[in-house]
Structure 1
């Protein structure tokens, strides 16, 4: 049809032409920007070159200034016979011209003067004749004599002719201005050298600046020597001297700026190029117009820019022509086919619903009516096909708050074509469906709530019934197993109730963490001690591997952390019939405030229902072996509080292999007020003969943290001495030794020299070692001392001196650690004092130290302070 635009090929060419136009514009802008920068850098180089030439000229005329001043002083000091032969001509009142042969320069003396001034003027003129012999510009020198206040001017200008012409106004005006400047320079006490701005000489069109140098003379006015230095011969390139500006850079602190820079002046549409002098307090600024830079840019790259502009015009013209290009008409070869095509289009347009045939290979519409054409921009046809394949090819979509039913069907003749029928649903049907959907959701919520309440009721009912039965049995029997079962049921019910209350407070935003500093290792010992009886009864093994320092203090909610860890351990205990439960505590070096706790068991694992309880409590029953310890709310409780404490709980479980609980929680480390330099087991050598590798790492790390030196049994040299033996094999016990095991509640004596201790309990292991050390020291002292003198060891001078040098310091350390609330260090110091009192046979002091250790476990600050005072009073009594 005529006038119909081609939707395929012209559109692609149009996009290409627009893309080419954008590329051409970018190239033009890049060329202009790059050329602009090159021109700016070139002008900056010219200005810096001019600054270097100016600095060189200043240095040369500094030397000339000193030469002239030295010649004047020599003329004043020496009264030779040549002074009488010098003659001068009086041109005007107070204006004299020394007689000399016509050479490069002429000299004039203004004001009354003596013969020394005349001699100095002649010498200066002769010196400058040589210096300016080959110069073409106008050069001038002014010498203000501080002794007679006369001014001598030496210049390459015809001074005599100029002073006789026009009544000498040009020369006298210039000299008056110079005299005023030089007198001002002489009166400035702290300025030895100064520069004028760039000046223009009207007669010759030259530009120059003045260098003034002051020489102070005691008893006379200062002598000032000035040179007018032209700059035209130093200009290179296209530098315009009228755009040069000389600035003084001296500030109040006497510092100068030594860096070249450029600055855009928006007010005058120009760029100021600055170049400082290296050895003079002056900056040369060249004002360069932006239009000048742009003109130079266009001039240098005119051919390239014209080509780009031509290419841009061609691409834009092609874009316009392609946009308006009509599709060539095609005459139908068969009128019957053309009639059939028109009838098909009329039929599709008359359908009461939206109809569309879409080609997914070419991504184009083959046939569509007006209703479908209006809705197609709002539909993702590929997504509709994907989603509606599972619902018999039908899908409901919402467009502009109206619901449409979209059905699709793939063509049987050509699979690449797909038919879409879009039907507008009736508003009443839409409302009814919404009401039906809302009713279904409401019924489902009621069902879920009933199920939730039923499961909660069952969870509370079973422990209560079991508790009631156990109470009835305890009236007739006091079997230990029955009592333990009763205790477990009570604890389970109490924990379930506590978790329910805490979750309710958390949901209502009534709970906030109680942030307090606590010792992590002490919390782990407490948790292990609580769960250990049940582990021993079932025959399970627990291994606690704390990779953090034993005395590390964390800041957080200790009680919530204890509940989370204890709940997860009981859950692992319930799913584990045999094997072990491993607990690993670590933190990354980059984020030490985030504690990572991994609990891994070798149990039966968790099913999907139990894993769902972590997000939806009581959605399923607990399948643990020990349902007296766990319930359907435990995992949900742990996950919710981990998230509230800026952490998370991850659960990975595999059937018949085990479960891995990963707890990441934010617990900042509290830095100790003072660093403990001395460790409690310094100087102790321990032979570690442990078969299990994991237990060996735990024991060796604990011993090294306490300061002990560890010897490996396999690497020990025969005959190498050690103080104690630590082993997990009972057959290898010998001498002073510890037998480590995972089932001991704390530590207990096997023989007077051998103890059994739990390697998971850090404090119990330390106390067992300290007890062996006390016994070993006591035995050594008792063997060395006579039997009848053991009760009076303090009366010996050697023991009394040692007691006097060490014990008062430890007592003072007790007060210091009490002020810092460093309970771990306080316990170690008290234990060390107890050992000293026990060795000396001072039972009263030993009893007081044991009382102090019990108070430290209870954190009773008032009684701790009182007991510390009693120990101090007891020590002072012994020292008297």
Structure 2
């Protein structure tokens, strides 16, 4: 407790001597140190209760997936502040509830995660939650790419070795010892493997029992019959998202297996340049759903609840497309094939084939050269062609491109040009 007390004393002395502007910064630091002191006090009190056998784990139902999400979400800002990647691989059914002490489980995960963030200066932190091979316990595997722990002695005796720190947080020589004690009192175990300059792997095993009759295997398949195209470059993100979609009953198709004639209901990508209408941009820093346009959203790939909500919103929007984008006979949304038929039945099909691909090439060239006036003229001309032929997706993309040209938003211009290119390619595939 000496470190936070000393820091508080120094800050109090400085506040009286500094200017009013500087005092606000010092007060923020003082609140942070006070919070650390309160946390350390709480941990010491808990350890005392554990040592005296006065603490026993509670037994109540809770949703483990939601618990893990909450712990991770509370630390997103700190992870972003340090530029660290986060990957949450939850390999159990999302809706499955367990019986145990939710507060104690959250405490252990939070303490270990905080320590991993403090000792990791670059790279990533990964949390993997799964069943053990025998199915009798839940395994939490948390790994980091940090500098490696040098205070392994603190696992068996607190405060033996000095704890590590970074510019934002200080570790505690009590953390590992307390986590180990808490795990043992819950009937579990904690194992730590660490190598200097490589990182640390924490393995936590807890005997959490699933509620009877709620194994989660038959959870609602909200995305049954939904085809999602995954254009995701990061392999770990692709794996993580695939598991989520499969739990919801969606069918995944990967971009390297996809052909232009194959229709998909939704696109998910980690590359802003690959965006199109009815698409989700996957990001590791986003706290909640962020609307990019009316048909495009950004969401964190680690958290299933906002991701599912965003997917359902986009699907609902797609089903509510305007009447002029629906087949008059069936009332169903017009597919790419429907637009192809509309184009080929038009008297302007030959003119489209001969001129539109060249205009798409001009979009790329003019965007690359930074000639926004010429780019705006080409986009306007293409918009007129699409409007005349009733090709609404192309018309909308050109309208968005015109808006981004006015805003001089280069990245979104590139994304919109790519979408126009993909749409034109689909329209012409029978002519090639």
- TM value normalised by structure 1: 0.35
Contact 2:288 2:306 in 1 (8 A): yes
| Gap change, CA 1:724 and 1:648, over 3 Å in 2 | same
User: C-alpha distance in 1, partners of 2:14/2:101?
Assistant: 35
Match of 1:560 among 95, 104, 116: 104
| Gap change, CA 1:738 and 1:636, over 3 Å in 2 | same
How many angstroms does 1:460 deviate by? 4.3
Structure 2 unmatched ranges of 5 or more: 328-432
> What residue is the counterpart of 2:282 in the other structure?
740
Cα shift readout 1:592-622 (whole Å, capped 9, x = no counterpart):
x311111111111111xx2111111112321
User: C-alpha distance in 1, partners of 2:23/2:231?
Assistant: 40
| Gap change, CA 1:776 and 1:569, over 3 Å in 2 | same
| Gap change, CA 1:743 and 1:780, over 3 Å in 2 | same
How many angstroms does 1:756 deviate by? 0.8
| Higher RCO (Cα < 8 Å, 6 or more apart) | 2
> What residue is the counterpart of 2:417 in the other structure?
none
Matches within 5 A, 1:3-14: none
> What residue is the counterpart of 1:501 in the other structure?
45
How many angstroms does 1:779 deviate by? 3.1
Cα shift readout 1:617-644 (whole Å, capped 9, x = no counterpart):
1123212325734211111110110111
Match of 1:620 among 161, 172, 194: 161
| Gap change, CA 1:673 and 1:703, over 3 Å in 2 | closer
| Gap change, CA 1:773 and 1:481, over 3 Å in 2 | farther
Matches within 5 A, 1:238-253: none
In the alignment, does 2:74 pair up with 1:530?
yes
> What residue is the counterpart of 1:38 in the other structure?
none
| Gap change, CA 1:771 and 1:781, over 3 Å in 2 | farther
> What residue is the counterpart of 1:636 in the other structure?
177
How many angstroms does 1:529 deviate by? 0.9
Contact 1:459 1:631 in 2 (8 A): no
User: C-alpha distance in 2, partners of 1:479/1:537?
Assistant: 23
In the alignment, does 2:114 pair up with 1:573?
no
> What residue is the counterpart of 2:146 in the other structure?
603
Match of 1:517 among 61, 86, 92: 61
| Gap change, CA 1:542 and 1:654, over 3 Å in 2 | same
SS at match of 1:726: strand
How many angstroms does 1:491 deviate by? 3.2
How many angstroms does 1:519 deviate by? 1.0
Contact 1:581 1:601 in 2 (8 A): yes
Match of 1:548 among 92, 114, 139: 92
How many angstroms does 1:552 deviate by? 1.7
| Gap change, CA 1:478 and 1:559, over 3 Å in 2 | farther
User: C-alpha distance in 2, partners of 1:681/1:568?
Assistant: 35
Cα shift readout 1:559-583 (whole Å, capped 9, x = no counterpart):
1111111111110111111111111
| Gap change, CA 1:641 and 1:778, over 3 Å in 2 | same
Matches within 5 A, 1:413-812: 457-465=1-9, 468=12, 476-477=20-21, 485-486=29-30, 488-591=32-135, 593-607=136-150, 610-626=151-167, 628-672=169-213, 676=218, 678-780=220-322
How many angstroms does 1:533 deviate by? 0.1
Contact 2:4 2:36 in 1 (8 A): no
How many angstroms does 1:672 deviate by? 3.4
User: C-alpha distance in 1, partners of 2:15/2:138?
Assistant: 42
How many angstroms does 1:555 deviate by? 1.2
Matches within 5 A, 1:205-220: none
SS at match of 2:257: coil
How many angstroms does 1:710 deviate by? 0.9
User: C-alpha distance in 2, partners of 1:463/1:637?
Assistant: 24
| Gap change, CA 1:776 and 1:692, over 3 Å in 2 | same
Cα shift readout 1:136-173 (whole Å, capped 9, x = no counterpart):
xxxxxxxxxxxxxxxxxxxxxxxxxxxxxxxxxxxxxx
How many angstroms does 1:692 deviate by? 1.4
Structure 1 unmatched ranges of 5 or more: 1-456, 786-880
SS at match of 2:94: coil
SS at match of 2:74: helix
Cα shift readout 1:440-465 (whole Å, capped 9, x = no counterpart):
xxxxxxxxxxxxxxxxx414424533
| Gap change, CA 1:482 and 1:658, over 3 Å in 2 | farther
Contact 2:4 2:34 in 1 (8 A): no
How many angstroms does 1:691 deviate by? 1.1
How many angstroms does 1:709 deviate by? 1.2
Contact 2:95 2:219 in 1 (8 A): no
| Gap change, CA 1:488 and 1:584, over 3 Å in 2 | farther
Contact 1:604 1:655 in 2 (8 A): yes
User: C-alpha distance in 2, partners of 1:479/1:753?
Assistant: 46
Contact 2:231 2:270 in 1 (8 A): yes
